[in-house]
């Protein structure tokens, strides 16, 4: 079976160079090139399959590529298709190493044990961050002293020591150990000679995702072996794993005599989507200068919208989906961070739109901050809830000792935990009074509106102080956690009572569980989660400054944020919808610079900021009103006092002077 190859693909498949980098535009057929290159080596150049290795970054991608190769070329056997770690594992087994990989749950519990010494509440995200830091250090080829972790140095040092000690005592390995051991072997002449004679042709997919260790491995083999690498530095979005786009740019300097060739035709996206994506990515400096052309000469539908807030954003998307003739599965809602899924899940649940969360375990309300606030609120409804009491009593620290916590936990009678401590014989009177005052404050939450109750917990009960101390201890950005607080408040908009909120939270949990069984629904995912995928219709939400580009990366990693945006828009086949809400979590937001770079703001007239004639609003000064007229930047509003007033729309929105209540 023959596959049609364009001229760019033919040049790549049949090139006669020792070291080649194929710079592949999105949708340009890189998998087609790789399997055809393998066939060319075996069929035309008579290379033995065991002299070829094809490396990619996931087992699923490797399995898919191997299957395609065998099907297309009617082969019963195939060369090695696998990951770096899979290859390293095979090499070490062959060399007589006894390898037992540490179980991920064991790693998790080891790190949790260390972190628990510093905090009562240890989140999954924090544990993952520590494990990522350990991996990042081991693959960085830096000395221990040179490496700069993203968390407190003391905590990192202790976690690393505990983790490595456990592995060494139990003769266990992690995947980074496989890499390090193979690198050490290959620095010995007898091993490098043996394997460079065996692996004569190395093909690497997603080359832009290689870390320092993987590049070092390829360099060692490249003394004799030929390297054929395929990738796109414009899609390098995993710097937190050690990947660097500069490996693509400086390929010819890293691998002697390396030649770059380009796959320039995007077969996926409509022409105007390709052109807009080029307008965005050309603003990056650290990239190859390349030509990208659309195969299709059709114009896709590009729509830009600036709704008032995330709720209106979700409703607009729901309306588009309901009116569409496409199956739900042909649509993807993409966002920068998982937290942004929260408002979309709420909206889709209300509108009965089926969805599939690619990150199947994610639920915003499982974040430790949400759990803390919900524990306070549950305790307000039932002050005998011992679990919630133990959860919040030292958030902030209220000098309740571990011994006293254990005393409450193991108390046999069914009794209010506040009373258990207050009546304990050795509880000092001043502490008993503080505990009783706290009980009164928590009961008082029932008399407040839900939004006021949440703010009371944050401000008056000192939860904000706990968060600040937590961030200082773990070397975390307080701004990131402040965003979680604001998102929690936004999640409570329109919910009147604590009980209603708890019912809502349980409903969300149930909906997310049910979504795991959905076979055909709208895809909800971070941009990171859909790399390599494509969808007929893509909705890129929350395209605002400090969201994408994310505020944590604007100063130091803006080019990666632009690459993320680029990856998002190049997932679209036919239609692309971009949304920049004017407000997020109650705060005015500026439109993302990437929207302007791609000229998406000119795609259609969206200067009404999501307001429509007939909308009911509340003005901070004049109260309730109804929008009578919108003319460019001027809006006329009929107020309940009988007076019609005109305003600058931009001034109203920028300063959060009005709120939509329709």
CA distance 53 to 232: 20
Task: Kindly tell me the number of DSSP H helices and DSSP E strands found in the chain.
Answer: 27, 21
Cα-based torsion angle of the residue sequence 418, 421, 427, 429 in order, rounded to the nearest 10 degrees: 20
- Is 614 annotated as belonging to a binding site? no
Instruction: Give yes or no for a contact between 592 and 336, defined as CB atoms under 8 angstroms apart.
Output: no
Task: State yes or no: 24 annotated in a binding site.
Answer: yes
Specify whether the CB–CB gap between 364 and 339 falls below 8 A: yes
DSSP H or E run through 13: helix 7-14
**Is 245 among the annotated ligand-binding positions?**
no
Q: Are strands 226-231 and 644-648 parallel, antiparallel or unpaired?
A: unpaired
**Tokens standing for residue 116:** 């628990």
Q: Which of 646, 557, 544, 524 is nearest to 593 (CA)?
A: 544
146 φ, ψ (degrees, to nearest 5):
-70, -30
- Taken in order 158, 162, 163, 165, the sign of the CA dihedral is positive
Distance CA 57, CA 35 (A): 16
Tell whether residue 270 is among the known ligand binding residues: no
Q: In Å, how far are 12, 137, 175, 473 from 114, measured between CA atoms?
A: 50, 18, 21, 13
DSSP class of residue 296 equals -
Cβ atoms < 10 Å from Cβ of 507: 12
Whether residue 384 is annotated as binding a ligand: the answer is no
Q: Is 380 annotated as a binding residue?
A: no
> Closest Cα to residue 439, out of 497, 374, 382, 372?
382
Q: 255 and 222 in contact (C-beta within 8 Å)?
A: yes
Is 28 annotated as belonging to a binding site? yes
The b-or-e profile of 372-393 (16+ CB within 10 A means b, else e) is bbbbbbbbbbebebbebbbbbb
Determine contact, residues 72/44, Cβ cutoff 8 Å. no
Residue 450 CB contacts under 8 Å (≥ 6 apart), including other chains: 492, 495, 496, 497, 498, 500, 501
Yes or no: say if 162 and 114 are a contact pair by the CB < 8 Å rule: yes
Neighbours of 423 (CB within 10 A): 11
CA 85 to chain centre: 23
The answer to whether the annotation marks 276 as part of a ligand binding site is: no
Most distant CA atoms of the chain, gap in Å: 92
Which residues carry a binding-site annotation for ATP? 24-31
Which residues participate in the annotated binding site? Answer: 24-31
């Amino acid at each position: 079976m023959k596959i049609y190859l364009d001229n760019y693909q033919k040049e790549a498949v049949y090139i006669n160079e020792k070291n080649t980098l194929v710079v592949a535009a999105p949708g340009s057929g890189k998998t087609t090139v790789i399997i055809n290159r393998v066939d060319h080596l075996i069929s035309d150049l008579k290379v033995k399959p065991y002299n070829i290795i094809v490396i990619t970054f996931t087992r699923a991608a490797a399995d898919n590529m191997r299957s395609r190769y065998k099907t297309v070329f009617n082969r019963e056997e195939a060369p090695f298709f696998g990951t770096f770690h899979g290859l390293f594992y095979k090499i070490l087994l062959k060399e007589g190493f006894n390898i037992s990989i540490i179980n991920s749950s064991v790693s998790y519990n080891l790190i949790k044990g260390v972190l628990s010494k510093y905090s009562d509440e240890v989140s999954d995200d924090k544990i993952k961050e520590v494990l990522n830091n350990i991996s990042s250090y081991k693959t960085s080829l830096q000395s221990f002293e040179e490496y700069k972790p993203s968390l407190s140095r003391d905590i990192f040092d202790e976690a690393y020591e505990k983790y490595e000690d456990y592995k060494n005592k139990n003769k266990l390995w992690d995947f980074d150990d496989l890499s390090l051991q193979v690198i050490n072997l290959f620095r010995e002449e007898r091993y490098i000679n043996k394997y460079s004679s065996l692996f004569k042709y190395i093909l690497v997919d997603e080359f832009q995702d290689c870390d320092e260790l993987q590049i070092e491995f390829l360099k060692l083999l490249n003394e004799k072996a030929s390297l054929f690498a395929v990738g796109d530095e414009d899609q390098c979005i995993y710097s937190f794993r050690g990947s660097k786009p500069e490996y693509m740019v400086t390929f010819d300097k890293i691998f002697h005599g390396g030649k770059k060739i380009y796959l320039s035709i995007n077969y996926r996206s409509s022409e105007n989507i390709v052109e807009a994506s080029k307008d965005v990515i050309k603003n990056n400096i650290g990239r190859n200068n390349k030509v990208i052309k659309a195969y299709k000469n059709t114009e896709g539908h590009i729509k830009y919208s600036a709704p008032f807030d995330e709720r209106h954003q979700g409703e607009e998307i729901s309306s588009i989906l309901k009116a569409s003739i496409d199956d739900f599965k042909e649509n993807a809602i993409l966002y920068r961070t998982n937290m942004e899924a929260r408002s979309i899940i709420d909206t889709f649940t209300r509108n009965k739109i089926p969805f599939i969360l690619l990150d199947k375990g994610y639920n915003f309300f499982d974040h430790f901050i949400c759990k803390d606030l919900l524990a306070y609120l549950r305790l307000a409804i039932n002050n005998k809830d011992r679990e919630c009491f133990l959860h919040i009593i030292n958030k902030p620290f209220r000098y309740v000792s571990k011994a006293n916590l254990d005393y409450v936990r193991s108390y046999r009678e069914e009794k209010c935990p506040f009373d258990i401590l207050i009546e304990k014989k050795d509880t000092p009177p001043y502490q008993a009074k503080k505990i009783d005052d706290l009980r009164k404050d928590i009961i008082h939450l029932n008399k407040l509106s839900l939004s006021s109750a949440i703010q009371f917990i944050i401000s008056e009960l000192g939860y904000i102080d706990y968060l600040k101390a937590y961030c200082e201890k773990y070397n975390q950005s307080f701004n990131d956690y402040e965003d979680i607080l604001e998102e929690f408040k936004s999640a409570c908009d329109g919910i009147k009572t604590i009980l209603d909120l708890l019912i809502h939270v349980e409903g969300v949990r149930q909906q997310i569980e049910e979504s795991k069984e959905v076979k055909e629904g709208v895809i909800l995912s971070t941009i990171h989660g859909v790399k390599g995928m494509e969808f007929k219709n893509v909705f890129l939400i929350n395209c605002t400054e400090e969201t994408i580009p994310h505020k944590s990366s604007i100063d130091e990693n803006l080019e990666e944020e632009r690459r993320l945006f680029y990856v998002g828009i190049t997932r679209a086949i036919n239609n692309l919808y971009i949304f920049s809400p004017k407000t997020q979590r109650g705060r005015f937001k500026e439109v993302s610079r990437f929207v302007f770079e791609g000229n998406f703001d000119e795609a259609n007239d969206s200067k009404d900021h999501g307001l429509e004639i007939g909308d009911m609003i509340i003005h901070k000064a004049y109260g309730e009103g109804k929008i009578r007229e919108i003319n460019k930047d001027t809006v006329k509003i009929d107020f309940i006092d009988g007076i019609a007033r005109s305003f600058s729309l931009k001034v109203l929105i920028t300063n959060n002077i009005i709120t939509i209540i329709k």
